A and B are shown apart, each in its own frame.
Chain A
């Protein structure tokens, strides 16, 4: 018998047919009538001032409509706060085309608008600009002594907790000690879809904006505040986003430029960035980390010192939680965590998948491996001995924590017990084999989200919430939640998102969408269910008369009594029987702060990696990965598995490939294209196994979900580096682990 219980069942993506046929439309694919094209001109210099911009010769080209630069931008909002988006860090946000000043390389300095894309591109390539150039600083290594403690930071940033215990003495007196510096360069999100905005001019300053973003509402408030428009006149639409990974958390400059051009020219305009320009805004910041760990004779952690110095721009303090995790992943009473920034002439960094935690866990989990070797313990056993039953940073119990099960189930699946501990002790023919372990911890968050639900007389349910789909499966899991709550078949339910005309949802980020929007959808469906029950009770001979919402279940297209399931009303019959065409309800959900604040809410993972190293060539192949994740309830094991598979690919990428190479002479990332900024391709990816450890948690939120978009990435890069050490005896603390570092 078919059932309408969908939550927790592997379910194919409901947006799958649209995506595999090319019917799903992304921001640059709305070909509205009378469209003009803008092409961005990027600064050739890193720091200085534009002294002359030769727009006249460009305007003479047939088909060019206008060249916008600081010289002809109309008067816009004056205060910094008008330019601040939902996740702007402290400081003064960058204002495109605001003045002659150049603050970073590839800063947008003009946009050429023309009748066709080709003419705009051609004309932009010819725009002459004179600059007065001053010396720039882009090298974090040269700023080691210029670090400062950030002030305000941004939403979600927690300054490192105060030191606890006596970390200096404890380290000094420890039986075993390790210390070292851990480095990764800047990394760029590089979603497949390049940033683009299509603005449809609807007349009289009324705009429909198709934007690449992870938050339509964020783009809307940014545009309305800067250009002084009412929200009624700016509808932002983002039905599909071709990858985000954090890059779309802040509105990017093509949005500003497209809206500017549309308002000035009074016509529809599209601005798309190039792949090169995808390296001209936020990135995972280049970070230098110092870690010192001490262990006692019995293998217990004696001391943790973790310091990080990260780059930020001259104009904003971008902050992320890099070191905090080192005070909570393991039990340790003597801990010192510090975090500093240094200002460089670069664009402000930006949250990139598991921001801070991917960075911090890379260093901590390598250092833990080193210390395990010093203490003569298996690295997994060492972790188990230092298991943190309580969050010592917050001094709170965890709402739930199944990391121990992650270790056990992951190790069993991987076959960890067969590992021989000595480096260079395992081989496969001529290749060295290495096995490594790592893991991490990530926040389980919930934000306020609203939704609406509407049942039509034909039995079709439409549920709406202005969230986003960046590949995480939002359409699918929300459809599952709505269908199960209303007891309707999946096919009868449509979920709509990505539109500021819909009920407000938070930015798609922080792994909180399932918890937040899912709870909002559930609330709207419950509200609709209560209304529907009332109507069902009005029906002639209704078997549900006199009962309350708690007494009934919605399942298999019926409202049934829990106490006697044979007493039921068919949902499709209710509206016709009451002579109603449609029944609607709204709902919203917010975190239960009073309850949640008593606990530490986190997801965990443990990852096991096998590498094979050809020592003659220095090549490393990540041949096998098992990633065990404890993230509460898994709404859809099929799409959830894909997210963790993707996280592992990201970890392999971070460990082995990703590096935005800055030429400090120019102040420019030199490998700013897809051929030279390496990410894995199909041939780089071998066996990956995902294990979801069962974890029940009714504290995080009523759905019991913790989110899985980010946790799977934690510790992957470290586990690979640890495996490389096990294979070769070489300890690489500077990512990526490129061939040259192993030869």
Chain B
């Protein structure tokens, strides 16, 4: 038995595409101008228009956390926000947290604890952990685990991710008390 069917039956293409405009984003302390249409996500703006490929695309649907960046200090999935919505905001990506010559304490701790394998989820994990530290909600191991559960690691490096974050958290606490 054969039957007919049509894929995308509602397709009546709008020939006129959304217009591009100049959008100014403040990323890692630097103002960057780009010509984009409103439909460009912050994630694609970073990766495809600004060559900031440290921010990763793992699902494009807010399900994996690989694209986590900091916007005004808050961690967000950059695939779930449009770049035009972030004009004027303070955006920090993994490239802004530290460099190979000058690592952020979390980046160093991730290396020391071997808190990654393939490295693809790692920038998102580290950005997420950076926000976790400033949020001040995670005080126990269980709370770190819970509050880091928006970032999937398919290699399964969770044990070491928690150890790395715990170390930085403890060091910060000690420093605060000194």
Mark A residues whose CB is within 8 Å of B.
12-13, 15-26, 28-29, 31, 41, 43-45, 48, 51, 54, 57-58, 60-63, 116-119, 122-123, 125-135, 190-194, 240-245, 272, 274-275, 469-473, 638-639, 641-643, 645-650, 653, 673-675, 679-685, 688
Contact = CB atoms under 8 A, between A and B. Distances in A.
B56 A192 contact: yes
Nearest to B63: A674
B7 A128 contact: yes
A683 B138 CA distance: 13
A233 B94 CA distance: 35
A31 B48 contact: yes
Interface string B1-25: 1111111110111011100000000
B4 A130 contact: yes
Contacts of B120: 26, 191-193, 242-243
Nearest to A10: B114
A193 B63 contact: no
Contact of B152 (A126, A193, A473, A681): A681
Contact of A646 (B7, B55, B156): B156
Nearest to B160: A642
A556 B99 CA distance: 30
B5 A131 contact: yes
Q: Is the interface of B mostly helix, strand, loop or mixed?
A: loop
Nearest to A648: B156
Contacts, number: 250
B59 A685 contact: no
B64 interface: yes
B151 interface: yes
Nearest to A61: B13
Most chain B CB within a 10 A radius of its CB, from A51, A118, A135, A244:
A118
Contacts of B37: 118
A240 B123 CA distance: 14
A132 B110 contact: no
Contacts of B63: 275, 673-675
Closest 3 CB pairs of A and B: A22-B54, A649-B156, A242-B120
Nearest to A20: B107
A192 B60 contact: no
Interface string B64-103: 1010000000000000000000000000011101111001
10 contacts: A12-B112, A45-B5, A118-B39, A131-B7, A192-B152, A194-B57, A243-B154, A471-B119, A653-B156, A679-B154
Given A12-B112, A31-B48, A242-B119, A132 B2 contact: yes
A164 B24 CA distance: 74
Nearest to A689: B159
Most chain A CB within a 10 A radius of its CB, from B12, B61, B118:
B118
Contacts of A28: 47, 57
B121 interface: yes
Nearest to B93: A22
A132 B5 CA distance: 7
A521 B112 CA distance: 26
Interface residues of B, number: 76
Nearest to A57: B13
A22 B53 contact: yes
Contacts of A134: 1-2
B161 interface: yes
Given A20-B94, A20-B103, 17 more contacts: A20-B110, A21-B98, A22-B94, A26-B53, A63-B17, A123-B13, A128-B11, A129-B6, A190-B154, A191-B118, A193-B56, A193-B120, A194-B58, A469-B118, A642-B117, A646-B117, A646-B157
A133 B5 contact: yes
B149 interface: yes
A242 B158 contact: no
Interface of B: 1-9, 11-13, 15-17, 37, 39-40, 44, 47-48, 51-61, 63-64, 66, 93-95, 97-100, 103, 107, 110-112, 114, 116-123, 126, 142, 144-146, 148-162
Contact of A645 (B64, B95, B112, B156): B156
Contacts of B16: 62
A156 B112 CA distance: 37
Given A192-B118, A471-B117, A642-B117, A60 B5 contact: no
Contacts of A193: 56, 58, 118, 120
Contact of B118 (A12, A22, A51, A241): A241
A131 B11 CA distance: 16
Nearest to B8: A128
Contacts of A45: 5, 7
Contacts of A673: 59, 61, 63
Given A16-B111, A191-B118, A682 B53 contact: no
A133 B3 contact: yes
Contact of A674 (B61, B119, B123): B61
A192 B58 contact: yes
Contacts of A638: 114
A190 B63 CA distance: 13
A499 B111 CA distance: 25
A274 B61 CA distance: 10
B54 to A, nearest CB: 2
Contacts of B94: 20-22
Contacts of A62: 15-17
A129 B8 contact: yes
A190 B64 CA distance: 11
A48 B157 CA distance: 43
Contacts of B148: 681-683
A643 B40 CA distance: 37
Contacts of A16: 110-111, 116
Contacts of A122: 17, 39
Given A118-B39, A243-B154, A682-B162, A21 B118 contact: no
A117 B126 CA distance: 27
A31 B51 contact: yes
Given A20-B122, A680-B156, A674 B64 contact: yes
Contacts of A63: 17
A192 B156 contact: no
Nearest to B40: A118
Given A20-B107, A31-B48, A642-B160, A127 B11 contact: yes
Contacts of A649: 155-156, 158
A118 B47 CA distance: 13
Given A12-B112, A48-B2, A685 B13 contact: no
A653 B7 CA distance: 35
A352 to B, nearest CB: 12
Nearest to B17: A62
Contacts of B1: 134-135
Most chain A CB within a 10 A radius of its CB, from B13, B37, B66:
B13
Contacts of B155: 192, 243, 471, 642, 646, 649
